[in-house]
Homo-oligomer: A and B are copies of this chain.
Amino acid sequence: MTGTKDRILAAGAELFRQGGYAGTGVKQIVETAGAPFGSLYHFFPGGKEQLGEEVVRSSGMQYIALFDLFITPETTDLIDCIETFFAAGVTSLLETDYVEGCPIATVALEVATTNETLRQATADVFTAWIDAGTERLEKFGLPPASARTLTITLITSLEGAFVLARSMRSTEPMAVAGTAVVDVARRLLAELG
User: Beta-carbon contacts of A91-130 to B below 8 Å, as 1s and 0s?
Assistant: 0000000110110011011101110000100110011000
Contact of A114 among B19, B162, B167 (CB under 8 A): B19
B156 near A164 with CB under 8 A, answer yes
The number of chain A residues with a CB under 8 A from chain B is 51
Instruction: Please name all residues of chain B whose beta carbon is closer than 8 Å to the beta carbon of A32 when the two chains form the complex.
Output: none
Given contacts A23-B22, A109-B105, contact A179 B119 (CB under 8 A): no
Query: Which A residues from 159 to 181 make CB contacts under 8 A with B?
Result: 159-164, 166-169, 172-173, 176-177, 179-181
What's the least CB distance linking A95 to chain B, in Å? Answer: 14
How far is B167's CA from A113's CA once the two chains are assembled, in angstroms? 9
CB distance from A12 to the nearest CB of B (A): 15
On whether the beta carbons of B180 and A157 are closer than 8 Å, the reply is yes
A187 neighbours in B (Cβ, 8 Å):
183
**CA gap between A78 and B120 in the complex, in Å:** 37
Chain A interface main SS type: helix
Taken together, the copies of this chain in the complex come to 2
State whether B109 touches A20 (Cβ < 8 A): yes
A18 contacts the other chain (CB 8 A): yes
Nearest CB of chain B from residue A148's CB, rounded to whole Å = 9
Apart from A153-B177, A159-B159: 15 A-B pairs, beta carbons within 8 A: A19-B114, A20-B21, A20-B110, A23-B23, A99-B112, A99-B113, A108-B163, A112-B166, A112-B167, A123-B168, A152-B177, A157-B180, A159-B160, A179-B184, A180-B183
